[in-house]
Amino acid sequence: MQNESDVTNGLRTTVVVDSTASLSSDQVEGLPLTIVPLQIALNGQSYQDGIDLTPDEFYRRIATSESTAQTSAPSPSSFQAAFAEAAATGTDVLCITVSSLLSATYDAARAAIELAQTTSPHQQIHLLDSGTAGGAEALVALAAARAAQEGKSLEEVEAVATWVAGRVYFVGVLETLKHLQRGGRVPRVASWAASLLNIKPVLAIWPGEGEVRMLERPRNKPKAIERVLNVIERESLGKPLHVIVMHAAAAEEASALLGLIQERFTCVETLTTTFTPVIGAHTGPGLLGVAFYAKE
């Protein structure tokens, strides 16, 4: 969180991002970065994503329950509160959201901006659709927050975020398609239904697309992981990489995957994070993913 000394220390911009980015408190500590939680309902109880319900607790509960978790965008008032906090320190805001094609979060943030302009007319608030989710959204937010920490203007911070958003890839491996099929987030999943029990689907979000595409249907996890590594190799063009490895209750697999990436590629930044419950609600436990972009 920011304090009044931030303005005198040169901070001109605060970055606000939704919890789909799956960033931990340790990963954002010291950065001018505020996380707005999405909402998740489980067994009739409503929770704030990552606050009232941690990833570990969520995955433990859905592994032993037949209940389907439901998710929803943050309320505009949640975004308003983050904007007001920034206004109190005299900083402008770059708000970054999960892809507008995957969630109503972008619309909630846009509504909040319209309301905030009536209470803090001198504060500039820009809204950026990241066009992605999870660790890929996190890489966009982290790059923006680091630029803001350097005292860059709102326009400069937005330019950094836009550059990363246009180059960041998300590639993941599912244990099963049944959760995505049930939630209807990937319409083409229906055509794969006959193979649901026998495949480890590889999915991706390409830069600029904003939607989940299904890449392949390997019959086992090792083949799926090799497909992920091949995508990184093809798209990185041998350049140094910023990388986040993500998992849903699969910490050991995430650690092993990170090791393979570090052996095979030059990395200037590597992070590991747990998929937030609002993503896990649609994918189920066992999801393993990588987000990356190549350094200039």
CATH code of the domain in which 77 resides: 3.40.50.10440
Confidence of residue 3 (pLDDT cuts 50, 70, 90): very low
Would the pLDDT of 87 be above 80? yes
CA distances from 117 to 3, 16, 93, 110, 288 (A): 21, 16, 12, 11, 40
Q: Does residue 52 lie in a domain region?
A: no
Q: Do the domain assignments include residue 13?
A: yes
45-49, 154-158, 168-172 — which is least confidently predicted? 45-49
pLDDT digits (tens, 9 = 90+) for 276-296: 999 888 887 889 999 999 987
19 lies in the same domain as 147 = yes
3-state DSSP assignment of residue 215 = strand
Contacts for 118 with CB less than 8 Å, ≥ 6 apart? none
Same domain, 17 and 159: yes
Last residue in a domain, options 114, 136, 165: 165
Entry pTM: 0.91
Contact of 242 with 215, CB cutoff 8 Å: no
Domain count, the chain: 2
For residue 261, the domain's CATH number is 3.30.1180.10
Q: Are residues 192 and 204 in the same domain?
A: yes
Question: Quick check: 1 pLDDT over 50?
Answer: no
Q: Identify whether residues 27 and 150 lie together within a single domain.
A: yes
Q: Which residue has the tokens 């090799």?
A: 226
In terms of residue numbers, what domain contains 145?
5-38+73-165
Q: Is 276 a member of any domain?
A: yes
Task: Select from 101, 135, 165 the last residue of a domain.
Answer: 165
Tell me, yes or no, whether 266 and 207 share the same domain. yes
**91 and 180 housed in the same domain:** no
Q: What is the mean pLDDT of residues 214-237?
A: 93
- 3-state DSSP call for residue 195? helix
Of 14, 75, 49, nearest in space to 274 by CA: 49
pLDDT at 190: 45
CB distance 18 to 134 below 8 Å: no
**What pLDDT shows up at residue 178?**
61
Same domain, 177 and 212: yes
